[in-house]
Amino acid sequence: MSTDDEAARKSKAEHLRAQISKYKKKDDAGEGEESSDEPENKSPAGKSPREFIHERMRELDEEDK
C-alpha cells in the first residue's frame, strides 16, 4: 500500500515541478510585464485564474452563511 502512495506522490511531485519550471520560465521572459499571464488565459469560462479563485472564495463564503 505504501509503495502505491509513494509512486503516486513521486508522480505528482514531478508533475508539479514541471509546472513550476514552466511558470518560472514565463516569469523570466516577461519580468517587465505585470499582467503577462492574464491575456494568455485559455479557460472555457474566459476568466483569469485570479478571477476564478476570488469568485470561488465568495461562493464558499456564501455557503458558510
Buried b (16+ CB within 10 A) or exposed e, 23-39: eeeeeeeeeeeeeeeee
Question: 4-27: per-residue pLDDT in tens?
Answer: 789 899 999 999 999 999 988 887
Looking at the predicted structure, is the pLDDT value of residue 29 above 60?
yes
Q: Is the pTM of this model over 0.75?
A: no
41 secondary structure, DSSP code: -
